Structure 1
Amino acid sequence: MTTAPTSADRPRTGLVRRLNFAAAWGEGLDGFDLGVISVALPFITKALGLTPVEAGLIGASSLIGIFVGAPLAGFLTDRYGRRLLFLVDVIAFIVLGLAQGIVTDGIQLFVIRVLLGVAIGAEYSIGAAMLSEFAPAKGRGRRLSGLLVGWYGGYLIAVVVAYVLIDGLGISWRWALACSALPALVTALVRIGFPESPRWLLTHGRGQEGRAIVDRYLGGDRYFEQENFGSEEERRTASLFRGENLKRLVFLSVFWACNVAPYFAIFTFAPTVLKTLQLSDPAVGTIFVNALAAIGAVVGMLSIERIGRRKQAVPPWWIMAGALAVIGLWAGAPGWVIVLCFAVFSFLNALSGNLTAVYPIEILPTPVRSSGVGVAAAVSRVGAAIGTFLLPVGIDTIGTGACMLIAAAVCVVGGVVSQLMAPETTNRDLVDTSSSPLRAAPEPAATR
């Protein structure tokens, strides 16, 4: 005869849902910030008299900041805990977002946006790790993918808002940039009062505190055993740059960099790219392809638990490479062909890009999870920053077609690496996914 579970043993999801919302809004802030600058940059360039190099630097500025902020915040979060930095970095968004509204030259804007990038980097290192360390294995991929839905949703909303404010109502680009402080304020209010991650507490010898949080917020002993929290106490030391963890870090860095580098480069300058390809209405084209990206992120979130991580990781690379190659090789292609190819790339880039919020969390162990996410994010943003900086120069020198072929080659690299290394982690607990050897062969999903 089995004993009915007590109220303390029943899973509770209220905190996880609130945490999911708070983390998704944090990712949305990043997308919003980059979406606004993609529309505002041509207006900023004209108003401040920027050269193509200066415009490229401002376009890449927040990506440069991420290179510093992501690994730094990851190290601090792994060492001192998730909770405090989860709130502090979003407060920085508010202050820096407002500061964009009072800049008077390109240097000031560049510095402020680099600092914004530091806050964005912190968000990458903290938000997904915080969410995953509370959430159950069942549905964890969908929750983490939801963070990227927040990113693409924020980007799309920002593009629409920026066009309405600047192009439609004639409002200064400064106000468009400063409006990012509003969603940041909402995010900050939601984040007040979260407890510390129980997995982080367990790996730092604070088992009683960790168990108390599981008992109070998550479902007691049954949840503790079901999600294998106890094994965290045995993993108090780990090296990020040795053995299997180094292999995981290399895979994550390459996968992430190849996903975001062509996206940021192309869509930071989407109006300029589409205009040089003789598209009659760049604004409509920009909104359309970004809407497809948001839809792709939603489809990826809804399908990830059904089709698995690996099937969502590998095939999109080859289709994206083909779509960009068509644009690069077909000089004078009709406008509908250009928009269609960009739409296919945008949709699949977002769909597979969901895994940049899933894989780093699932295959890195708790003691180095945030640090590893930070390093992988930093490496990815090096590629993105280089692409974003060089694209306007490339368009001006070698032409848009050649730039699209380079972007297609980046997708091929991502496809090869994923084919060889992308693991299957669906429905496995975090201790299992982060301790198993990294290999490409799919494994049967654990039943629960």
Structure 2
Amino acid sequence: MGFDPRGKLNSFLVSSAGFLLDGYDLSVISFAILFLQKEMSLTTFQEGLVNSASLIGMIFGSLLFGVLSDKLGRKRLMGIDLIIFTVFALTSALSLNFIEIFVSRIMLGVGIGGDYPVSSSMMAEFSPSKSRGKYLVGAVSMYWIGTLLSALVNLSFLPLGEYFWRFSFAFGSILAIPVILARLRLAESPRWLISKGKLTGEGIPTVEEENKGVKGITDLFNGKIFPVVLLASSIWFLFDVASYGIGLYYPAIFKQFAFPSNYEVIYATMVIAIGALIGYVFAELAVDSLGRRATLLSGLGLMALLLGIGGVIKITGVYLLPYFAIFVAMEQWAGAVTLFYPTEIFPTPIRSSAQGFATAFSRFGAVLGVVFFPTMTKVIGLSSSLIVFSITSAIAFAISLYFVRETKKMELEKIAIGLRKGQVKS
């Protein structure tokens, strides 16, 4: 596209705030579950369900909001999804039993899930092609800023006693309010306007160029497009099995195998978040220079290698902290690309729907990892569980090696597959 939309920095900050809230929410529950388990007499399986409840809600939210975003526009939905988050973050804080917190967190997940396709599509469509990767990776990195913030909030409220988690949950609800207000002033995506014939001019793609012969969601299941949807979704699915399977249990792992003190667990979680952010700094440098393909393959390959090594040498104790800090740094190389790649390879009329489908599919992998990780570690141990996750990462690497094509510094309308072209341009 021949224009650089004014206010793209504002769009970046306001759009990426949804990822910050996601990181905050999932990290808050991963520490709170250590106390909820006793307070609500949760079984191991119920613990997994509570930990994964927002991920389950994301499946429904991403599908629904992805489709609505393509029909109604990005801007209209960017406040609604976070209103849902705000309401149910508060009801989570007031929950008294398993059913109440499980349902609250499922509904909270609907809001978070809805934000993924809407915000990531908005980011891709506002970003200039030469540095689009930098903007998209930066947006995803906000997840770990949310994680770091959750640790600081938990640290502040922990002296209040065993019910501190209620204040941490409520703080998340308050955190979303200024983001909602800022989104009311956000401009509509120019590419969505172009796709609907509402924005024309010199240097701007035509409706036909933007839409690539695709008219709506039914084209998502076309014989040429749907296999690409499945491959992109499968890579993200396999990545999430390991990423969330381990990621939502860092506090529990540190508590059981390394640090007995709750404060030490929080500090360890902060180190993990800092490790992830360092990984994102290098990913930002790589994604527009080395490219998407090299960044993704490096991340998935090192994930498989590190998890395999950790499983074979049976790493435990305080060594888990530097081990997971290094792992999470490299994990982000893969995590960022798996998340935003669908927004680059699908045309505007189905971009958000495709991203919603891919998000939903990936959350199935996340739920599998989160629900079964506690049981798996009890049955086969932590080391063998790491090897299982190493295998899933290796499979994701193999699929990516076959499927992923380079998209760096290319205009979206030149990348996107349509009904007239069955593959991504290299």
Q: Which of the residues 279, 297, 307 maps onto 1:314?
A: 297
Report the 3-state secondary structure (helix = DSSP H, G, I; strand = E; otherwise coil) of the residue aligned with 2:407: coil
2:343 aligned residue = 361
Query: Is 2:238 the counterpart of 1:258?
Result: yes
Q: Which of the residues 202, 224, 231 maps onto 1:221?
A: 202
Report the 3-state secondary structure (helix = DSSP H, G, I; strand = E; otherwise coil) of the residue aligned with 2:157: helix
Runs of at least 5 residues in structure 1 that lack an aligned partner in the other structure? 1-8, 212-219, 444-448
* 1:370 maps to amino acid: S
2:352 aligned residue = 370
User: Aligned-pair distance for 1:415?
Assistant: 0.8
* 2:202 maps to amino acid: D
Task: Name which one, 1 or 2, has greater alpha-carbon Rg.
Answer: 1
**1:365-399 deviation line (CA, Å, top 9, x unaligned):** 11111111111111100010111011111122222
Aligned length: 418
Aligned-residue CA RMSD in angstroms? Answer: 2.3
Asked if 2 retains the 8 angstrom alpha-carbon contact of 1:66 and 1:119, the reply is yes
**1:314-347 deviation line (CA, Å, top 9, x unaligned):** 12222211211222222365632x3333122201
1:240 aligned residue = 220
Asked if 2 retains the 8 angstrom alpha-carbon contact of 1:324 and 1:341, the reply is no
Q: Which of the residues 176, 183, 202 maps onto 1:184?
A: 176
Report the 3-state secondary structure (helix = DSSP H, G, I; strand = E; otherwise coil) of the residue aligned with 1:244: coil
1:446 aligned residue = none
Asked if 1 retains the 8 angstrom alpha-carbon contact of 2:84 and 2:111, the reply is yes
2:148 aligned residue = 156
TM-score, length of structure 1 as denominator length: 0.87
Q: Which of the residues 100, 115, 123 maps onto 2:115?
A: 123
Q: Are residues 167 and 265 of structure 1, via their aligned partners in 2, closer, same or farther at CA, if it must alter by over 3 Å? A: farther
Give distance in 2, aligned partners of 1:303 and 1:130: 22
1:231 aligned residue = 209
Asked if 2 retains the 8 angstrom alpha-carbon contact of 1:277 and 1:332, the reply is no
Q: Are residues 51 and 432 of structure 1, via their aligned partners in 2, closer, same or farther at CA, if it must alter by over 3 Å? A: same
Asked if 2 retains the 8 angstrom alpha-carbon contact of 1:149 and 1:301, the reply is no
Q: Are residues 82 and 384 of structure 1, via their aligned partners in 2, closer, same or farther at CA, if it must alter by over 3 Å? A: same
* 1:19 maps to amino acid: S
Q: Are residues 133 and 171 of structure 1, via their aligned partners in 2, closer, same or farther at CA, if it must alter by over 3 Å? A: same
Q: Are residues 101 and 125 of structure 1, via their aligned partners in 2, closer, same or farther at CA, if it must alter by over 3 Å? A: same
Give distance in 2, aligned partners of 1:250 and 1:12: 32
1:300 aligned residue = 283
Give distance in 1, aligned partners of 2:248 and 2:355: 23
Give distance in 1, aligned partners of 2:147 and 2:368: 20
Asked if 1 retains the 8 angstrom alpha-carbon contact of 2:20 and 2:142, the reply is yes
Query: Is 2:35 the counterpart of 1:43?
Result: yes
Query: Is 2:6 the counterpart of 1:14?
Result: yes
Report the 3-state secondary structure (helix = DSSP H, G, I; strand = E; otherwise coil) of the residue aligned with 1:103: coil
Q: Are residues 371 and 38 of structure 1, via their aligned partners in 2, closer, same or farther at CA, if it must alter by over 3 Å? A: same
Provide the identity percentage.
Answer: 29
**1:276-317 deviation line (CA, Å, top 9, x unaligned):** 334565443332122211221232123311111111011222
User: Aligned-pair distance for 1:186?
Assistant: 1.6
Report the 3-state secondary structure (helix = DSSP H, G, I; strand = E; otherwise coil) of the residue aligned with 1:398: helix
TM-score, length of structure 2 as denominator length: 0.91
Report the 3-state secondary structure (helix = DSSP H, G, I; strand = E; otherwise coil) of the residue aligned with 1:156: helix
